[in-house]
């Protein structure tokens, strides 16, 4: 590497003008520290990840959908073909339903009396407030639709959220909604949506309540592990888009969804005994520190030791330490401006095919090892 290459990119400051667009802002003014990491994420997304042949998985944690990001940010990214599958906290999907059902949430202030809010029947998520009735009405909707015949069986959370997304999409049409929520958009676009801890949300609480009434609905996490692994395994199939396949892991926050997305690679090589490689791209926006030992702050280099990340691809691994509510709108605005939409992969419709391929290769490998 030459001395010039070691020096990197020259900082050439220019005075800010009144007509700076989002692309110019990020390219020319995000010059160092986490601003530069955010710029690097935007460049990696537009130049390598949001291209043909790359299967993009997104993990979602933190209260993103109460802030409206399901409709304003994630749904447009899905419709542009930039997100192929999602692993989310159940809470994000539950609060996403409020918007799909036409309920109102409000931006407020953090300087409130929570005891008074409780007396008034008002719920607070930091500076977001809404009526307690929103929870009750959303719960009532969930319990009503889950009693329908299609839900009376064992299933993975992708099928569960697909059916739920179909129901909320029908409500949006009845209401004449201009924009669709995350689950309804994922249903329309064939994007599978998984929850790593299906019992850890109000959706799971309502599933549990119905089980006390005799509901036959059982959410099976093993199906989710196998399906997400099959997607990651199939990502490198060069026949998917006619080009060499690659796998990208984009993590908004950390927590259980991050691990569920990354564990697909150890499942492939450590448990199933198939290829050992790791994801080709690792992008994370987080406010978690790495030195506390938690998964939320675990670095790409640490992930290499687990086989979650391809060690040859560490230059394609970037972490930006900032608030997701700052980074996500910037990333979306930049990439939608810079990238042409990709054809939808509709992985939901291909789950059985991908799973059959994974199972066939695993059983063949196991039979060979047992000889």
DSSP 8-state class, residue 295: G
Query: Which residue in the block uniquely carries the two structure tokens 């005075």?
Result: 15
Catalytic residue among 3, 153, 166, 308: 308
Residues 6+ apart with CB under 8 A from 352: none
Residues 6+ apart with CB under 8 A from 181: 65, 70, 71, 75, 96, 97, 99, 100, 168, 172
Does residue 102 contact residue 175 with C-beta atoms inside 8 Å?
yes
Cα 348–Cα 92–Cα 73 angle in degrees, nearest 5: 75
Look at residue 191 and give its three-state secondary structure: coil
Report how far residue 94's alpha carbon sits from residue 91's, in angstroms, rounded to the nearest whole number: 5
DSSP 8-state class, residue 363: H
Look at residue 37 and give its three-state secondary structure: helix
Active site residue 338: no
Sign of CA dihedral 198, 202, 206, 212: positive
Report how far residue 297's alpha carbon sits from residue 301's, in angstroms, rounded to the nearest whole number: 12
Q: Helix H segments across the chain? A: 3-7, 22-29, 33-44, 69, 75-79, 90-100, 114-120, 132-146, 157-175, 182-189, 202-211, 221-234, 255-262, 264-266, 300-305, 324-338, 351-370
Catalytic positions, written as ranges: 308
């Amino acid at each position: 590497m030459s001395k010039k290459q070691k020096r990197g990119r020259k900082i050439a400051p220019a005075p800010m003008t009144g007509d700076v667009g989002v692309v110019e802002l990020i390219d020319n003014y995000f010059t160092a520290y986490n601003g530069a990491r955010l710029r690097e994420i935007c460049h990696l997304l537009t130049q390598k990840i949001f291209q043909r042949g790359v299967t993009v998985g997104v993990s979602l944690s933190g209260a993103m959908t109460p802030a409206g990001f399901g409709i304003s940010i994630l749904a447009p990214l899905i419709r542009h073909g930039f997100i192929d599958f999602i692993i989310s906290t159940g809470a994000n999907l539950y609060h996403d339903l409020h918007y799909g059902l036409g309920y109102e949430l409000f931006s407020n202030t953090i300087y409130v009396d929570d005891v008074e809010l409780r007396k008034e029947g008002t719920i607070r998520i930091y500076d977001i407030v809404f009526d307690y009735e929103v929870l009750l009405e959303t719960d009532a909707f969930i319990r009503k639709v889950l009693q329908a015949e299609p839900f009376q069986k064992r299933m993975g959370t992708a099928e569960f959220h697909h059916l739920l997304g179909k129901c909320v999409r029908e409500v949006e049409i009845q209401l004449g909604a201009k924009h669709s929520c995350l689950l309804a958009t994922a249903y329309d676009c064939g994007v599978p949506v998984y929850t790593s801890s299906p019992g850890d949300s109000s959706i799971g609480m309502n599933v549990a309540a119905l089980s006390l009434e005799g509901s036959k609905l059982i959410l099976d996490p093993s199906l989710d592990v196998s399906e997400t692994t099959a997607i990651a395994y199939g990502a490198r199939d060069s026949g998917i888009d006619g080009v060499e396949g690659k796998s990208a892991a984009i993590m908004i926050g950390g927590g259980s969804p991050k691990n569920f997305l990354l564990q697909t690679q150890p499942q492939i090589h450590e448990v199933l005994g198939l290829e050992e490689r790791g994801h080709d791209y690792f992008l994370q926006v987080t406010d978690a520190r790495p030195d506390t030992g938690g998964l939320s702050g675990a670095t790409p280099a640490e992930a290499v030791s687990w086989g979650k990340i391809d060690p040859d691809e560490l230059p394609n691994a970037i972490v930006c330490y900032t608030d997701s509510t700052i980074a996500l709108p910037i990333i979306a605005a930049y990439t939608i401006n810079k990238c042409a939409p990709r054809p939808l992969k509709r992985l939901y419709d291909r789950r059985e095919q991908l799973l059959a391929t994974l199972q066939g290769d695993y059983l063949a490998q196991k039979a060979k090892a047992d000889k």
